[in-house]
Chains A and B, each alone.
Chain A
Amino acid sequence: MTLIASSIGKKLAMALSGLFLVVFLTQHFVINMTSVFSESLFNEISHFMGNNALVQMILQPILIFGVLFHFTMGFVLELQNSKSRSIKYKSYKGSANAPWVSRNMIVSGIVILLFLGLHFYDFWFPEMNYKYVEVMPLNPDRYFEEMIHKFESPVRVGIYVFSFLFLALHLYHGFASSFQSMGLNNKYSKAIKSITAAFAIVVPVGFAVIALFHHLTAF
């Protein structure tokens, strides 16, 4: 049996793709946070990220592959797991021995997937259309305006904040869990769990604050 065909190999793949997405999330968070402090800096970084050949032609496809791989593998594992107990228990007290968040990664994952659909509809598809379909002229100052325009809608901001809650739940289990899947459970595990908890709070709350900030200051 090859590594990737084994149950442990699939979990390793989930862990590595998940950690890759954590790295991406961190840089996305840092860039977004600049929009709160400096319109010009946000525009400058966005223009760089949107027009740099390395970012656009290499990192972006890798990122899209990473996202698709993580979700696809997640669904594959969920499907396999659902087949491992064909007759369900009449009484099953899951909360007695494991937190909700660890038992419902598929739920938080689906909410994040739906959010990504909206997020791509809001930002990625218009951006691809602007640059590669309609091939409109370069405008290094358009990014901030485009972004705050999206956050004028309270419904959209509400959906974003709701989704960030599920991102927090997903990260809270997934980040630390990935180290266990990679075979790391030692004296550093306590520190990894603390870092995971901090990351799972700071990043999603930060994203929510950014969305709310632009919604409240847009008028």
Chain B
Amino acid sequence: MMNLTLKVWRQANADAKGKMETYQMKEVSPDMSFLEMMDVLNEQLIEKGIDPVAFDHDCREGICGMCSMFINGEAHGPDRLVTTCQLHMRKFKDGDTITIEPFRAKAFPVIKDLTVDRSSFDRIQQAGGFVSVNTSGNTQDANAIPIDKHDADKAFDAAACIGCGACVATCKNASAMLFVSAKVSQYALLPQGKVEATDRVLNMVHQMDMEGFGNCTNTGACEVECPKGISLENIARMNREYLYASLKG
């Protein structure tokens, strides 16, 4: 069992100033997930009549991309290739002080405490992250279209992006290039996506720029912190796609 000091960002609403609050946690099990530890904290806060800490979560198995904490200076904490819900308290030591902040970016405004508004990602996706297919029942079976195994694998890897926003939170410039490039690559690599490739990349990058994300400076931090291991190759592919689409008009 561990005794921990938590420094948690508390902000009543989007317009409030917000500040770090310190809480003591006693007898934390190393087998707890980080979110379970937060649940226990909230139970203690409720018992004391204090407003519980608001934080995003849903599936709690690393699939949905909802959990979004910046823990001890890193998105999803110190572990690699995991989301916050997959992070276990055994990664910390007895007596540790843990700093917990929301994902910070101009395009991810805080809603309350540790929850942030990531609808900018939705708007980017809506700008072109889809294939316009008539799903009336006459759609060609995707398996009937031969696809190179390497391209299929790369498309699948890109599609593994859960849109959690760790890339933005981690990037010193709050750039969304890894997320957008994963979505662009996912379709650009497949024949079904090539038809709308030009408009897709132009529209998605335009929307990304409009949302106020920063510029990529190729530090590679996003790739390291991404819970799904999305590769920087996707950013290079999107750069190629964008340059080609711009020249093509």
> Which A residues form the contact surface with B (CB < 8 A)?
1, 3, 6-12, 77, 80-81, 83-94, 96-99, 102-103, 105, 173, 177, 180-186
22 A–B contacts from the bound complex (CB under 8 Å): A1-B206, A3-B247, A7-B208, A7-B213, A7-B216, A12-B239, A80-B214, A83-B106, A83-B212, A85-B104, A85-B105, A85-B214, A89-B70, A89-B73, A89-B101, A90-B9, A94-B221, A102-B220, A103-B221, A173-B218, A180-B232, A184-B240
Q: Which residues of B contact A102 (CB under 8 A)?
A: 217-220
Closest residue of B by beta carbon distance from A102: B219
Cα–Cα distance between A217 and B104 once the two chains are bound (Å): 55
Cα–Cα distance between A81 and B7 once the two chains are bound (Å): 27
B99 contacts A181, C-beta separation under 8 Å: no
Cα–Cα distance between A205 and B246 once the two chains are bound (Å): 40
Cα–Cα distance between A81 and B171 once the two chains are bound (Å): 10
Closest residue of A by beta carbon distance from B223: A97
> Which residues, 182 to 241 on B, are CB-close (under 8 Å) to A?
202, 205-206, 208-209, 212-221, 224-225, 232-233, 235-241
Among A93, A177, A185, which residue has its beta carbon within 8 angstroms of that of B74?
Answer: A93
Q: Which residues of B contact A3 (CB under 8 A)?
A: 243, 246-247
In the complex, B170 has a CB within 8 A of chain A: yes
In this complex, the member of A77, A81, A173, A182 whose beta carbon has the largest number of chain B beta carbons within 10 angstroms is: A81
A185 contacts B232, C-beta separation under 8 Å: yes
Extra contacts besides A84-B213, A90-B7, A102-B217 (20): CB < 8 Å: A3-B247, A6-B206, A6-B209, A7-B209, A11-B239, A12-B243, A80-B214, A81-B174, A81-B214, A81-B217, A83-B212, A84-B175, A85-B174, A86-B106, A92-B73, A97-B219, A97-B224, A102-B220, A103-B221, A185-B237
**Shortest distance between the CB of B198 and any CB in chain A (Å):** 13
In this complex, the member of A85, A88, A183 whose beta carbon has the largest number of chain B beta carbons within 10 angstroms is: A85
**Shortest distance between the CB of B200 and any CB in chain A (Å):** 14
In the complex, B173 has a CB within 8 A of chain A: yes
Task: Sort A-B residue pairs by CB-CB distance and give the 10 closest, nearest first.
Answer: A93-B73, A183-B240, A185-B236, A84-B214, A97-B224, A81-B173, A183-B239, A98-B219, A84-B174, A97-B221
A7 contacts B104, C-beta separation under 8 Å: no
In the complex, B107 has a CB within 8 A of chain A: yes
In the complex, B20 has a CB within 8 A of chain A: yes
Question: Do A97 and B74 contact each other (CB < 8 Å), given the known contacts A8-B242, A89-B101, A180-B218?
Answer: yes
In this complex, the member of B72, B78, B175, B242 whose beta carbon has the largest number of chain A beta carbons within 10 angstroms is: B242
Residue total for B at the interface (Cβ-Cβ under 8 A): 50
**Shortest distance between the CB of A91 and any CB in chain B (Å):** 4
Closest residue of B by beta carbon distance from A83: B106
B172 contacts A103, C-beta separation under 8 Å: yes
**Shortest distance between the CB of A164 and any CB in chain B (Å):** 23
A97 contacts B225, C-beta separation under 8 Å: yes
Cα–Cα distance between A107 and B2 once the two chains are bound (Å): 41
Cα–Cα distance between A96 and B80 once the two chains are bound (Å): 11
Among A6, A94, A177, which residue has its beta carbon within 8 angstroms of that of B242?
Answer: A6
A1 contacts B209, C-beta separation under 8 Å: yes
Cα–Cα distance between A84 and B235 once the two chains are bound (Å): 19
A80 contacts B219, C-beta separation under 8 Å: no
In this complex, the member of A1, A10, A84 whose beta carbon has the largest number of chain B beta carbons within 10 angstroms is: A84
Question: Do A84 and B173 contact each other (CB < 8 Å), given the known contacts A7-B208, A7-B209, A185-B232?
Answer: yes
Question: Do A105 and B239 contact each other (CB < 8 Å), given the known contacts A84-B105, A92-B73, A93-B73?
Answer: no
Cα–Cα distance between A87 and B103 once the two chains are bound (Å): 10
Cα–Cα distance between A90 and B172 once the two chains are bound (Å): 14
Closest residue of B by beta carbon distance from A177: B218
**Shortest distance between the CB of A181 and any CB in chain B (Å):** 6
Among A7, A89, A93, A177, which residue has its beta carbon within 8 angstroms of that of B215?
Answer: A7
Q: Which residues of A contact B74 (CB under 8 A)?
A: 93, 96-97
Question: Do A7 and B205 contact each other (CB < 8 Å), given the known contacts A91-B101, A183-B239?
Answer: yes
Closest residue of B by beta carbon distance from A96: B74
